[in-house]
Amino acid sequence: MGTDPANPETSPRDGRMRRKNMLLVDEDLTTQDDHLNGVDLNRDNPPFWNSSTGSSGNVQSIVFHGAAAQSEPEIHALDAAAQLGPIGQLSMYTDAHSFSQVLLWVKNSNARLAKLTESLLGTFSSHNAALPAGKFYGFDKANQVPGNRGIGTTDEYFMHVYQVPSWTLEVEPTGNGGADYGGLGRNGHDGFILPESQIARVRTQLAQTFAVAYYRQAGPPSISEFHLVDDASGATVFTAEWDTLGDTLGDTLGDTLGDTVGNNERLLHTWQGQAVQLDRNYTAWIAFDKPMRWQSGSDVVVLPGQQASSLATETTILAGATPLTAVSGSVHWLNTPGGAAAGYTSWINDALTLSLNFPADAANQAAISAATSATLKFRSGDMTSTALDTDPSTVARWVDGGWSGYENDAGLDQTDSGGSDANIHYEMTSATLGDPFVIEAGTSSAWKDPARTGEGFVLEVLAAHRAVMYWFTFDEQGNQDWYIAVGDIRGNRIAFDELLQVSGGEFGPGFDPGQVTEKVVGSASFIWSGCDAGEMEWELDAKEDQPRRHGRMNLQRITRVMGLDCADTVAPPVNETARLSGSWRDPAHSGEGYTLEMLMDGRALVYWFSYDANGNRRWFFGVGESTGNGATTTIEFDEMLTTRGGKFGEAFDPADVELLPWGTLELILQCGTGTATFTPTEQGFPAGTLDLARLTSLDGLACP
């Protein structure tokens, strides 16, 4: 020990107190001639390597800085790990040490970075101090920290090279000789190791505090989605959602809009089914791109270390520049799942609801004409009091020591301040419009996007506010594909939270239901403005090297089901065959089946969702004629068709879709059972017969 140039009493060397990387050290603990070998890794970094203070060129010194800057493989490994992030997403760095209970940092010439680092350190220290038996970690203010000076630490390197908040964390105990926990207080290193009774607390609380710092550096919050729901009917009258560009939808919009959009931008999509009326009760649902409030038990509370003001929100509705009179209820943060418009989306408390009513008073009557654009202006901070991004069209991200794409109330970027969101505009009216459209039994139909002929949906509205959806489409290579989902009806919306892709089937006698698997691959939602028009949104998981896929379609009715008109009072079914509409399958072939619509004109439409002999998903369809109007009905489909050539997503072109003959199908059905006899003409599909049982009945057309 006496060979150390520093005083051994104040500079311990061995065991957990050693600070050098122990190069060329053997495993024999009784030898002493190698105990000073190695380099202090926290002195081996540019830009302040070989500083005049804080490091040494003496190989035996405990703070030996190495032969050159970044001379050690550990330092190269640390930098390589950061690059794998990738480095463009790095927004914070900490080097954790024992001991002293302080946060040590330096600053460069970037004033924004210094200000944001000081603020982040304040969040860190305040949070840890507010925890049970927590400790306050002291740190110097920016005006106390000398600029462009250091001793070669890793946090100095990350601060200067990558322009991110960086510091050295010295954990408990304080540097008072361990007196915090009964140490002797002889020198700064006595009490270096925490007593057993404190280790779990320090470990757990520092992990929680780091999570808060990571949360803050994940980025400022922004509104991601807004719904306005009519309370009386449960119908959604207005929606707005920011679509992140760079996924499937973004690629399409980017191609359309050219250089005005990119991967770091969003586009606001809005839909309105009915104008917002005066003297009518609504519920606003606002979702954000991060969880916004801290939860303790069932209660929303202030995040430890924050002020009570962090819970404040402010809602204003404007007609032009004029604030409208609005009666609004308390903000209710959502801690149950479900998404729009009653639950959170991805995390607890990433969405809220509040009630709204616009009285027909003189002020509102003067501001609202027959059709007036209104603006939602909303202010809130996240749980660390970081204000909203006022312009979510540019995705806030960390760039060169500050936030880029994070605008304030004046629309200015690079102020790191944020403000109120006033981007969502919807139509209001002084007219009395009555109830908005809600889904009826007659919404059961085949639907398509008029611009995407060749793919579409079959929707079955069931009892108890449930629905089944079949999506007949293609994959990216032009082969047929299909999805199925069961969803909940919510006014004029249907949420299909689990979009299923079914695999493992084989057409014909080789079909084995034990080989069939279902995989949740995404979600979809449908919304209608009336009986014949609506919109759908879908989202599919990442696939191979592709990112998450997302898109929207306009909906147009293709068919009308016998006995289920929409919006008008309907007489009983034209005949008993109407009750055959619904889904059918052979119980021995679970994993494939038919959806059947008996149409208004007496014909029948069938879609058969199945496979080929190689297990590829296939679908066939046809329009047939029925005979019999009693207990048994025969439906002959003399020309069953199939397709090929369409491409999934933005590559879809109706001109690519080829319509091909597939064969014939005969259904002989009673209200709950029947048979399907088929004779394919496409090679590789054997003829056969299936024994059918009813799987679903359409709402309003159930069998007795």
Burial of 126 (0-12, 13-18, 19+ CB in 10 A): buried
Flag whether 6 is in a domain.
no
Flag whether 458 is in a domain. yes
Q: What one-letter code names the amino acid at 374?
A: A
| 593 and 649 assigned to the same domain | yes
Whether 289 and 185 share a structural domain: no
**Residue closest to 502 by CA, chosen among 486, 524, 520, 523:** 520
**Residue 215 has which token pair?**
């949360």
Burial of 496 (0-12, 13-18, 19+ CB in 10 A): buried
Q: Where are the beta strands (DSSP E) in 220-364?
A: 223-230, 236-244, 266-272, 276-277, 281-288, 294-296, 299-301, 313-319, 322-323, 327-328, 332-333, 351-357
Q: Facing residues of 583 across strands?
A: 595
Q: Residue 200: which CATH number?
A: 3.40.630.10
Helix, strand, coil abundance in the chain, percent, nearest 5: 20, 40, 45
Flag whether 122 is in a domain. yes
Among the three residues 217, 249, 281, which one is the final residue of a domain in this structure? 217
Do 206 and 255 lie in a common domain? Answer: no
Residues 213 and 228 reside in one and the same domain = no
| Residue appearing with tokens 């047929």 | 480
| One-letter amino acid for residue 381 of the chain | G
Q: How far apart are CA 202 and CA 198, in angstroms?
A: 6
Please, which residues have CB within 8 angstroms of residue 523's CB and are 6 or more apart in sequence? 485, 495, 496, 497, 498, 499, 538, 539
User: If you ran DSSP here, which 8-state letter would residue 324 be given?
Assistant: P
Both 170 and 238 in one domain: the answer is no
The strand order across the sheet containing 102-104 reads 93-100, 166-174, 102-104
List Cα–Cα distances, 639 to 585, 664, 680, in angstroms. Answer: 20, 5, 10
Determine the residue type at 162.
Y
The answer to whether residues 430 and 363 touch, using CB atoms and an 8 Å cutoff, is: no
Domain boundary among 372, 403, 429: 429
DSSP run (H or E) holding 374: strand 372-380
Torsion, CA 391, CA 395, CA 396, CA 399, rounded to 10:
-130
Give backbone dihedrals phi and psi of 30, rounded to 5 degrees, phi first.
-85, -15
Q: In what order do the strands lie in the sheet with 276-277?
A: 276-277, 420-429, 372-380, 313-319, 322-323
Residues of the chain with pLDDT under 50: 13-16, 247-262
412/459 same-domain check: no
β-strands 582-585, 593-598 pairing: antiparallel
In a shared domain, residues 405 and 539 = no
Q: Can you give the pLDDT at residue 252? A: 39
The candidate with the shortest Cα–Cα distance to 150, out of 221, 59, 55, 281, is 55
Residues 570 and 503 both lie in one domain: yes
Range of the domain at 182: 15-217
Residue among 565, 570, 603, 609 nearest 586 (CA):
609
Structure tokens at 336: 């149950």
CA 75 distance to own-chain centroid: 35
Query: In this structure, is residue 1 part of a structural domain?
Result: no
Distance CA 641, CA 625 (A): 15
Same domain, 128 and 161: yes
Residue 147 is classified by DSSP as B
**Residue 30, pLDDT score:** 75
Reference 167, options 119, 214, 231, 106; nearest CA is 106
DSSP-H helix ranges across 46-195: 73-83, 111-130, 154-162
What letter represents residue 275's amino acid? A
Residue with tokens 């729901």: 229
In terms of domains, do 461 and 597 share one?
yes
Interstrand relation of 420-429 and 276-277 (parallel, antiparallel or unpaired)? parallel
703 in any annotated domain:
no
In 3D, which of 221, 111, 86, 215 has the Cα closest to residue 163? 111
Chain CA centroid to CA 136, Å: 35
- Is the alpha carbon torsion for 137, 138, 141, 142 positive or negative? negative
| 434: in domain | no
Alpha-carbon distance values, 674 to 26, 511, 587, 695 (Å): 82, 19, 12, 12
Q: Is 271 left (phi over 0), alpha (psi -120 to 50) or beta?
A: beta
**Quick one: 144 and 291 in the same domain?**
no
- Please name the amino acid found at residue 21: N
Domain end call among 171, 189, 217: 217
**Is residue 393 included in any domain, yes or no?**
yes
Same domain, 52 and 96: yes
Q: What is the pLDDT of residue 190?
A: 55
The b-or-e profile of 34-44 (16+ CB within 10 A means b, else e) is ebbbbbbbbbb
Residue 496 carries which DSSP code? E
Alpha-carbon distances, residue 691 vs 193, 582, 587 (angstroms) = 75, 16, 8
Give the amino acid at 235: A
Q: Does residue 173 have a cis bond before it (omega within 30 degrees)?
A: yes
Q: Would 376 be classed as within a structural domain?
A: yes
Neighbours of 247 (CB within 10 A): 22
- Sequence-separated (6 or more) residues with CB below 8 Å from residue 611: 505, 506, 507, 511, 592, 617, 618
Residue spans of beta strands (DSSP E) within 90-193? 93-100, 102-104, 166-174
| DSSP per position, 202-235 | HHHHHHHHHHHHHHHHT----EEEEEEEETTT--
| Residues pairing with 661 in the sheet | 641
Count of domains observed in the chain: 3
Angle formed by the axes of helices 73-83 and 154-162, to 10°?
40
